[in-house]
């Protein structure tokens, strides 16, 4: 028997909430967005929201996972990340800026976890063991968040690509480096 299909109402509710999160982040900081705002935008009740998510951070985690799925479809290997990530950052700089403005420790941890898992996938298949992959992905995610923050604040020259070949050259060195 094929796997159990997900209820169409659940799919529609999740889709509406994902769209609401993205739409609200276009105009407001994440810290200003409330569950009531998300429910009003998605046209659902608070009870429905809480039957799916524990809070707005839980929804944001799902939103980031959905974003990761969309970005990952365009990335076959680490050398192609720049062709997907750079356009996304350029097209969504307002949304990303609102996400990262006045960042709370809880949101920062959520972003670190998300970006670290992204780097773990990129680093998969290299010569290093899993412990070092985790350490390196945590290191890279911290740098990535700082660089993204600087990019969103306009601290880069306008023509500078956020993700560039130097980052991937560094990752390639790390993947092939033998510490012995």
Interval 17-47: pLDDT, tens: 999 999 999 999 999 999 999 999 999 999 9
| Residue ranges per structural domain of the chain | 1-56, 74-180
Q: Which residues contact 102 (CB under 8 A, 6 or more apart)?
A: 29, 31
pLDDT value at residue 165:
67
Helix, strand, coil share (%) of the chain residues, nearest 5: 75, 0, 25
pLDDT tens digits along 56-67? 999 999 998 887
pLDDT value at residue 1:
39
The CATH code belonging to domain 1-56 is 1.10.10.60
pLDDT tens digits along 82-114? 677 778 888 888 888 888 887 888 988 988 888
């Amino acid at each position: 028997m094929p796997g159990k299909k997900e209820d169409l109402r659940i799919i529609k509710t999740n889709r509406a909430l994902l769209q609401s999160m993205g739409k609200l982040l276009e105009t407001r900081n994440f810290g200003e967005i409330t569950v009531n705002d998300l429910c009003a935008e998605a046209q659902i009740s608070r009870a429905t929201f809480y039957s799916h998510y524990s809070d707005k951070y839980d929804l944001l985690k799902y939103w980031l996972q959905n974003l990761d799925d969309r970005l990952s479809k365009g990335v076959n290997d680490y050398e192609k990340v720049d062709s997907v990530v750079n356009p996304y950052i350029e097209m969504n700089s307002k949304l990303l800026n609102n996400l990262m403005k006045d960042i709370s420790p809880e949101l920062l941890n959520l972003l670190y976890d998300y970006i670290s898992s992204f780097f773990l996938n990129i680093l998969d298949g290299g010569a290093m063991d899993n412990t070092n992959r985790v350490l390196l992905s945590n290191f890279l995610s911290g740098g990535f968040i700082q660089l993204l923050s600087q990019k969103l604040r306009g601290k880069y020259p306008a023509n500078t690509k956020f993700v560039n070949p130097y980052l991937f050259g560094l990752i390639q060195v790390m993947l092939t480096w033998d510490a012995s």
